[in-house]
Amino acid sequence: MSAPGREAAGFRGLTLGILGGGQLAQMLALAALPLGVRVRVLEPDPQAPARLCAEHLLAPYTDPAGLDALAECDAVTLEFENVPVEALAALDGRVPVRPGGGLLARSKHRAREKEALRAAGVQTAPFKVIESAADLEGALERVGGRGILKTSELGYDGKGQARVSTPAELAAAWADLGRVPCVLEGLVAFGSEVSLSVARTAGGELAFGPLIENVHRGGILRTSVFPAEAPEGTEARAREAARAVAEAWGLEGLLTVEFFLLPGGALLANEVAPRVHNSGHLTQDGGGLSQFGAQVRAVLGLPLADWRPLLPCAMVNVVGVQGQEPDWAQIDALPGTHVHLYHKAFRAGRKLGHVNVVAPDRGTLRERVAELERLIP
């Protein structure tokens, strides 16, 4: 904020605005506060997780007074990709929004995203855009005979998706999804899934997060592990792909690329999130800079370097399961664990928190992760 009285020393006196007040905003705020950075979130949900650690502008994302208050911040970032274009237009020219609208337009639309990944020279699974009944013709053969149909917009955590292996299944799945614009992707026989984040300042300086290995359950991330088990050179290639996306898409701020790692070692980009990512939560407790600190720094133009845990570490998500509660006493008693709760009301299938665990070596980490997975339904 350009208010008088800002302390010149260090980072004090800066205010970061965030569109959205969910758990990512909460954890961004928790990383910003110790740097002397205040946080203001625009978020219509009165129970949103970030309400407890940030100034909460309780209003719709398009609210003019709320947007005026965000425009007074030093920079604005976001924690979700589906920010209304009206909100971005209202902030345009008044405050730096990082990442900006051009990048968001790509990352929130699967078809545009895949085309823009290819244009940046990054490999993806074979895909075919489905926008009319005529597009269904021959689509499955084009992607290799078996595929996943995904809505182009508003899909997340495996929602808005269907696996198909015959033309009849494809037609039925498209009808089920409401005949909205979709992408049919070839089914990838991946060996594992990995992710890597990149941050880029407005001046074009780059910094990278670590390569992280991810296991999903029912379309939702279950466990992330650092270091990822991957052939030599994988991290360098993931960085190169992330750098290509960051530069071609004009990133300011931080983005995360999710990849399929094929048994031969090739990487296919699956998705780009224009922000910190669930897989990077383990960086909170690995001893290095966290992904949240990295996003805050990149967005505000504060000093930034590669961020990487100093110790092997992992994260297990806590997702609501009806009638079952994690065994908190045992989780607490397990060495190296750090519980992170989002202060959200219980709902089955909802991300309610996560538990990070750190260990002195990979073998001990594996044992602790197995134990955590037993204690968290």
- Binding footprint of ligand AMP on the chain (CB under 6 A): 125, 148, 155, 158, 185, 187-188, 193, 216, 219, 258, 270-271
Residue 24 or 304 having the CB closest to ligand AMP = 24
Nearer Cβ to ligand AMP (43/185): 185
Residue 270 has phi, psi (to 5 degrees) of: -100, -45
* Residue number with CB closer to ligand AMP (32 or 316): 316
Rounded CA separation 365/287 (Å)? 15
Q: How far is the CB of 349 from ligand AMP (least distance, A)?
A: 14
- Peptide linkage before 46 cis (omega within 30 of 0): no
Question: What are the DSSP calls for 275-290, one per residue?
Answer: S--GGGGGGGSSSS--
Q: Least CB distance from residue 271 to ligand AMP, whole Å?
A: 5
Whole-number minimum distance, CB 155 to ligand AMP, in Å? 6
- Return the number of the residue (100 or 160) whose C-beta is nearest ligand AMP: 160
DSSP percent split of the chain into helix, strand, coil, nearest 5: 30, 25, 40
Least separation in angstroms between residue 158's CB and ligand AMP is 5
Structure tokens at 338: 């750090």
* Closer residue to ligand AMP in complex, CB, 130/289: 130
- Stated as kind and residue range, the H or E segment containing 360 is none
Nearest approach, Cβ of 258 to ligand AMP (angstroms)? 6
* CA 73, 77, 79, 83 torsion-angle sign: positive
Q: Given the complex with ligand AMP, which of 193 and 285 has the nearer CB atom?
A: 193
- Residue type (1 letter), 139: A
Please give the Cα distance from 249 to 43 (Å, whole number). Answer: 27
**CA 313/CA 214 separation, integer angstroms:** 12
CB of 187 to ligand AMP, least distance (A): 5
